[in-house]
Structure 1
Amino acid sequence: MILKSLFFSYMSELEGESLSKIDILMATYNGGQYISQQIESILNQEFKEFNLIVCDDQSTDNTVEIIKEYMNKDSRISLHVNDQNLGYNQNFMKLINLSTAPFFSIADQDDIWNSNQLKDLYQAIIKKDVDIVYGKSSYIDQFNHVVSNRPYVRNIDVKVPYLLFEDNIIPGRNMLVNARLKEQLFPVPTLSRTFIYDWYLAFKAVENHGIYYIDKTINQYRIHTNSVTNTDAYSPLKEKSFREKLMYIENLRIEAIKNRLNRIEVFKTFLKDQVAVEEYATYVDSLKKTRFINFHFANFFKYMKVRTLHYQIIFFIILHLPFLYRVFIMKYVNESRRSYEG
């Protein structure tokens, strides 16, 4: 009877482990200010069959202590602390390697998940049998106040992977990923701040079993100055003069071209559709050679992520009155071009 009891106890433990259909992967670094809100939102999910795996990247604040407190309350939470700082790209890829569930989801340390996130994503990925399903976000500030911001997450045609070349429109925080995609991810190409892990996952999913978008708000994305992915490139311009704004914008344009040229070299190392990569490279090269940005009016707003009326007006003036453009910044333009045109 004792052996029989031990056997059934062991089988129950195995069954309990198998209930974890989703591994939630959270990379942390000095996230003590907001991480409690994020963990609470995850524990309050309507879908309960998950484990939360946290990998801390040598935090110097109270992040690890907070996580350990939650570990004592909920056995679904586990913590790994890196021996050295890996950076968020390598940290997330390490987490993907640690995951053993049939599906994994990615959580930023400072957002807040809506209670429906896992349920809605899981139902969609089971029904559609794709590699990635994703939804959209609302936006909050450091005080949890809703803010109006750039809702760049959008649906894409999975038959046109080059739509991903220009921008990362499927963020990790909105993904649920089928674990079979892991077979396609390694070895990992060079990742950087301008080409990050979730962008890479999206490319590989489009090339394999595809991507599916659900038109539902599933989380609240926090925008604050300490966010790793905060991309408000125009915020430093609020108090600048008109001429300074023009100079700053031209510099952004040049840096954007450099970043795209660097990303193309990475794309070549892992994308199957090399023809599409070469076509995109030709397009970026044409931007590099253009003497005046007003020659590319149709693409400029999208290219430079111009999302506010204030800067649309400025760009309208620049693009339609090239004389002003020359008067204000032509000398600066000529000097800056020498740094990358050769």
Structure 2
Amino acid sequence: MIDILMATYNGEKYVSEQIESIINQTYSDWKLFIRDDGSKDNTLSVIKEYANKYPEKIVVIEDGKRGLGAKLNFAELMKYSKNDYCMFADQDDFWINEKIQLTFDEMKRLEEKYSKNTPILVHTDLKVVDSNLNILNESFWEYQKLDANKRALNNLLVQNNITGCTMMMNRKLMEMSINIPQGCIMHDWWIGLVASCFGQIGIVNKQTMLYRQHGGNEVGAHNYKSLKYYTSKLSNVNKITKSINDTLVQAKSFYDVYKNDLTKEQKNTLIEFYSLKDKGLIGRKASVVKNKFYKNGLARNIGYFIFI
């Protein structure tokens, strides 16, 4: 069985469509756990109606905790997953009906190749859509200019190219990732780092869901080709600096959690990265080049090299 973990907050407008898209999956051996983070609208009432209608398939978690935010909401949900496989679901997307099956097929292939004791993550591409599910771009990876094949630690430390709502984890990866600290930026990024260091990352080069953009997204998609994307980025230097510093804090947190399990090379990479803040201007840039701390795309790397 596959556990599906859905985090909700003020999502009454779209959550019904998302739940229906999960119910209509071609693969049916799943259980959906939904945890609301203290919605002020009717989200909780909506999800409870579905839980009452499908009591064997849908569980609403009410633990009294509120205002955790997306990453810690998902972290709480992970504690309830007891089956061999787990997926994340956002409240406002729409799953194409073969999403689970396509992802699970790749997971089984990788487990046959590397064994079930290997931490394995599988993720897919997405279609970017507007609030009414009209397609804005057929490929999120193309829209954002992301290279899903960049799975090495030095790349994932700098930029995440794994979208949590497309992910599937096996039990081994879940067990290694479950204690997500405050220092991580987002849960999917942290889990991707774990899989990169200790296991395998698989890719399904297909769009398995509609990634809805409506102005209230926790993260969202941005058109990498647009001038607006770059002007908005460059208009706030403090935001750029904070974003870079957050990756260094995350790397230090990761090192602290897993230092006893890391290889010497992995330790050196992490130390080189989170120590960038302690180096002078020339030293930082030299370390970036030496360790190939590169983002996706030339323009991003130029910007990163300037502000690091």
Q: Same fold (TM over 0.5)?
A: yes
| Number of residue equivalences | 277
Question: How many angstroms apart in 1 are the aligned matches of 2:33 and 2:49?
Answer: 14
The alpha carbon displacement at 1:186 in A equals: 4.5
- The 1:186/1:100 distance shift into structure 2, 3 A limit, reads closer
The alpha carbon displacement at 1:83 in A equals: 0.8
Contact 2:233 2:240 in 1 (8 A): no
Matching residue of 1:145: 134
Q: Show structure 1 runs of 5+ residues with no match.
A: 1-20, 307-311, 320-336
78, 99, 103: which is aligned to 2:59? Answer: 78
Three-state SS of the structure 1 residue aligned to 2:34 is: strand
Between Structure 1 and Structure 2, the one with more helix by share is 1
CA displacement 1:185-233 (0-9 Å, x = unmatched): 24433345xx111111111122223111111111111122211113659
Question: How many angstroms apart in 2 are the aligned matches of 1:41 and 1:246?
Answer: 34
- The 1:37/1:60 distance shift into structure 2, 3 A limit, reads same
Establish whether residue 40 from structure 1 lines up as the match of residue 20 from structure 2: yes
- The 1:300/1:52 distance shift into structure 2, 3 A limit, reads closer
- The 1:246/1:78 distance shift into structure 2, 3 A limit, reads closer
Three-state SS of the structure 1 residue aligned to 2:192 is: helix
Establish whether residue 30 from structure 1 lines up as the match of residue 10 from structure 2: yes
Q: Show structure 2 runs of 5+ residues with no match.
A: 112-118
Three-state SS of the structure 2 residue aligned to 1:147 is: strand
Establish whether residue 136 from structure 1 lines up as the match of residue 125 from structure 2: yes
Establish whether residue 260 from structure 1 lines up as the match of residue 247 from structure 2: yes
Establish whether residue 166 from structure 1 lines up as the match of residue 153 from structure 2: no
In structure 2, give the amino acid aligned to 1:182: M
Matching residue of 2:207: 217
CA displacement 1:96-120 (0-9 Å, x = unmatched): 1101111011000001111111001
What is the correspondence of 1:1-342 to structure 2 with a 5 Å cutoff? 21-75=1-55, 76-85=57-66, 86-129=68-111, 131-148=120-137, 150-151=143-144, 154-156=147-149, 158=151, 160-192=152-184, 195-230=185-220, 232=222, 248-271=235-258, 272=262, 273-281=266-274, 289=281, 302=297, 305=300
Question: How many angstroms apart in 1 are the aligned matches of 2:233 and 2:191?
Answer: 35
CA displacement 1:120-164 (0-9 Å, x = unmatched): 111111111151111110101112121146345543355x32221
- The 1:208/1:258 distance shift into structure 2, 3 A limit, reads closer
Three-state SS of the structure 1 residue aligned to 2:241 is: helix
In structure 2, give the amino acid aligned to 1:178: N
Q: Quick one: higher RCO (CA 8 Å, sep 6+), 1 or 2?
A: 2
Contact 2:252 2:271 in 1 (8 A): no
Question: How many angstroms apart in 2 are the aligned matches of 1:114 and 1:181?
Answer: 25
Larger radius of gyration: 1
Question: How many angstroms apart in 1 are the aligned matches of 2:11 and 2:233?
Answer: 36
In structure 1, give the amino acid aligned to 2:273: Y
Identity of aligned residues (%): 26
- The 1:47/1:300 distance shift into structure 2, 3 A limit, reads closer
Contact 2:34 2:58 in 1 (8 A): yes
The alpha carbon displacement at 1:82 in A equals: 3.5
CA displacement 1:253-309 (0-9 Å, x = unmatched): 3333332332332232134221111233466666x726xx9xx9x968848759xxx
- The 1:65/1:32 distance shift into structure 2, 3 A limit, reads same
Question: How many angstroms apart in 2 are the aligned matches of 1:229 and 1:303?
Answer: 22
- The 1:25/1:289 distance shift into structure 2, 3 A limit, reads same
- The 1:84/1:245 distance shift into structure 2, 3 A limit, reads closer
